[in-house]
Amino acid sequence: MIAARLLRAVAAFGRFWWDFLIGDTPEIFVVIVLALVVVGWLSLGAHAALAAGIVLPIVAVGALVHSLLRATRSR
Amino acid sequence: MLATVVSSSAVVLVGAVFLATSVEMVEALTIVVAVGHTRGWRSALEGTAAALGVLAVLVAAFGPALVHVPLNVLRLVVGGVLLIFGLQWLRKAVLRASGFKALHDEDAIYTATVRELEALETSPQRDHVAFVMAFKGVFLEGLEVVIAVLTLGASAHRLGLAVVVSLVAIVVVGTAGVIVARQLSAVPENAMKLGVGIMLVSFGTFWSGEGLRIRWPGSDTMLLGFVALYAIVGWILIASLRARREREVAA
């Protein structure tokens, strides 16, 4: 009984975060996670830090444009 | 100089928290007003108070815990979450502003909620339907506010300020709701949503970069640069999508 309730609560918690972060825009989630990994790797070198800083906003804009084109293409 | 830098990042924080809270509370208030008018105010207000209580407990429980997380880790995780969350808000606001998605219509939500409630039986005692509807409306909309307040406040090391600004926004929207009652559709919700999206993406870019040990040129003032950049991008996207929409409608 308690285990079932706990399981339901965990499932609801997982569902909330899935809807919150992924929902109907999985492309934004994937692009940003990949960008953070790449920028993290780039920023390891002292001279690459600035380049990494330029990559992040460009990727964010790119993810937004891609998601908007995906949303409006099917209409 | 230091005072200018500190106040510029604080201004963006205050603006983001105030607008995010206001937008979500307008949506919650629409449901509460519909429940109150249809089923009676007592249970609607009890449901609202219970939801606000649970949300306050969440802030009290998780807020102090977040302060103990190492700042770089916190800023990377929070920055990533804000980037994703902010881009979702910005996307929705751009689609609405350009006509590709219907504007959020508080009047339609009000009418639909009233119709749904009128179809249900009323209880002479405590109205559980009204309580649950008001609780769900306030809790679900408020949960996004709690996440915004905790993440923005903790990462900026200004959790107290974020909580106070959020409470002020709740009081302002609540008071306005009481005065204008069913005129909530007059609130420029999409413009506010666009503003919140721009600020969340700006904070997300700034903090995830800081979490990855990037030293931004100009330090905290770079945040204002990101706000300007994303505002220009948003404006260009709205203008180009709106033009495309008009061409499609005309064809």
Residue A43 identity (one-letter amino acid): S
The number of domains in chain B is 1
> Do B153 and B166 touch, CB atoms closer than 8 A?
no
Residue A67 forms contact with B (CB below 8 Å): yes
Q: A47: pLDDT confidence band, cut at 50, 70 and 90? A: low
pLDDT at B5 over 60: no
Q: Which residue from B58, B74, B162 is spatially nearest to A13, judged by alpha carbons?
A: B58
Query: Least CB-CB distance to A60: which of B205, B237, B241?
Result: B205
Region B211-239: what's the mean pLDDT? 89
Please choose, from the candidates B41, B24, B65, the residue with its C-alpha nearest in 3D space to the C-alpha of residue B153. Answer: B65
**CB within 8 Å of A24: residues ≥ 6 apart:** none
List pLDDT tens digits, range B194-223.
888 898 899 899 989 988 888 888 777 888
Judging contacts by C-beta atoms under 8 Å, the chain B residues touching residue A28 are 84, 87-88, 91
Task: Determine, for residues A67 and B87 on separate chains, whether the beta-carbon distance falls below 8 Å.
Answer: yes
Residue B69 belongs to a domain: yes
Reported as a single tens digit per residue, the pLDDT across B79-125 is 899 899 899 989 999 999 998 887 766 667 777 777 777 666 666 56
| pLDDT for position B2 | 46
Instruction: Answer yes or no: is B95 within a domain.
Output: yes
Is residue B66 domain-resident? yes
Greater model confidence, A39 or B106: A39
> Are residues A57 and B226, on separate chains, in Cβ contact within 8 Å?
yes
Phi, psi (deg, nearest 5) at residue B181 = 50, -100
- Residue B140 forms contact with A (CB below 8 Å): no
Of the ranges A42-51, B73-82, B186-195, which one carries the lowest mean pLDDT score? A42-51
Ranges of H-type helices in B68-188: 71-97, 106-118, 128-155, 159-180
Q: Residue B244 class from Cβ within 10 Å (0-12 exposed, 13-18 middle, 19+ buried)?
A: middle
pLDDT at B202: 92
Asked, for residue B251, whether it belongs to a domain, the answer is no
**C-beta separation of B149 from B14 below 8 A:** no
Structural domain boundaries, residue B92 = 2-246
Per-residue pLDDT, B1: 46
Q: Which residues of B20-33 are buried (b: 16+ CB within 10 A; e: fewer)?
A: bbbbbbbbbbbbbb
Instruction: Please check whether residue B212 lies inside any domain of the structure.
Output: yes
Please state, rounded to an integer, the average pLDDT across all residues of chain B. Answer: 82
Dist CA B202 CA B223 (whole Å): 6
Task: List chain B residues with CB under 8 Å of A49.
Answer: 213-215
What percent of chain B clears pLDDT 90, i.e. is strictly above it?
18
Computed over every residue of chain A, the mean pLDDT equals 85
- 3-class secondary-structure state, position B238: helix
pLDDT at B181 over 70: no
Q: Which tens digits make up the pLDDT trace of B124-144?
A: 566 788 888 889 888 888 888
- Can you give the pLDDT at residue B105? 63
What value does the mean pLDDT take over residues B172-197? 74
The residue that leads in pLDDT, B39 or B95, is B95
Task: Output the six-digit token pair for B50.
Answer: 């219970």
Name the least confident of A45-59, B43-57, B109-123: B109-123
Cβ–Cβ of A57/B214 closer than 8 Å?
Answer: no
pLDDT at A46: 64
Domain layout of chain A by residue ranges: 24-75
The winner for highest mean pLDDT among B58-72, B160-174, B182-196 is B160-174
What is the predicted pLDDT for the residue at B62? 82
Please calculate the CA angle B2-B168-B38 and round it to the nearest 5 degrees.
155
The DSSP letter of residue A44 is T
